[in-house]
Amino acid sequence: MSIITLRPLTQELLLQVGRWREEIRESLRTVPLRTQQEQFEFYLHPPEDSRWWALSLSTLAPPVGMGGLTGIQWENGLAEISLILDPVVWGKGYGKAAVHAILGEAFHRMRLHQVVGECYGCSPALPFWQALVREWNGGFVMLPQRKYWAGQWFPSFSFWFWQEDYPPLQPGEEVSTPVEEEPHE
């Protein structure tokens, strides 16, 4: 599995994310797309219950995606995962590595107990999430008629991962640490 580094977000990445979101509108909860300024504000100055990262293969590599944890409930140890990848890297293992990095951050650094997620039946990411939940012993339920898209209703694959079912850190392994951007000259 590739190693994904969690890095701070940049405006440049958010411009790319806006283009990626446009390509997969059927997957989004927020179908009216945010304006560029709304995106910058939301992700660069997130609410206190959210954490967002650029996802890269190294501290110098360009980001392959963006991910985060939203709706963090510290008192309940709960958060929802969010992930979007550049469509050109789909199917290359980066999604799995990104989820691994985000869950590592959630369970090992933030000490959360459960991470949940939702993927609509019309999303091209549905097989990815279903396979990952099976492989990592997560739980799931299919909820009917949760997304209306292109004139029809689609179910939702609602899933969760528990901290105790998530693989512990191996000796010498560390949680990916968000690294500050290197200065550009």
Q: What is the predicted pLDDT for the residue at 118? A: 97
What pLDDT, in 10s, does the model give residues 77-117? Answer: 999 999 999 999 999 999 999 999 999 999 999 999 999 99
What pLDDT, in 10s, does the model give residues 121-144? Answer: 999 999 999 999 999 999 999 999
Domain over 5-165 is classified CATH 3.40.50.300? no
Q: Where are the domains of the chain?
A: 5-165
Q: Indicate the pTM of the whole model.
A: 0.86
Percent of the chain with pLDDT over 70: 87
What pLDDT, in 10s, does the model give residues 4-22? Answer: 999 998 888 888 888 888 8
Angle, to 10 degrees, between the axis of helix 11-23 and the axis of helix 36-44? 120
Asked if pLDDT for residue 183 goes beyond 50, the answer is no
How far is residue 141's CA from residue 130's CA, in Å, rounded to a whole number? 11
Task: Enumerate the β-bridge partners of residue 54.
Answer: 7, 66
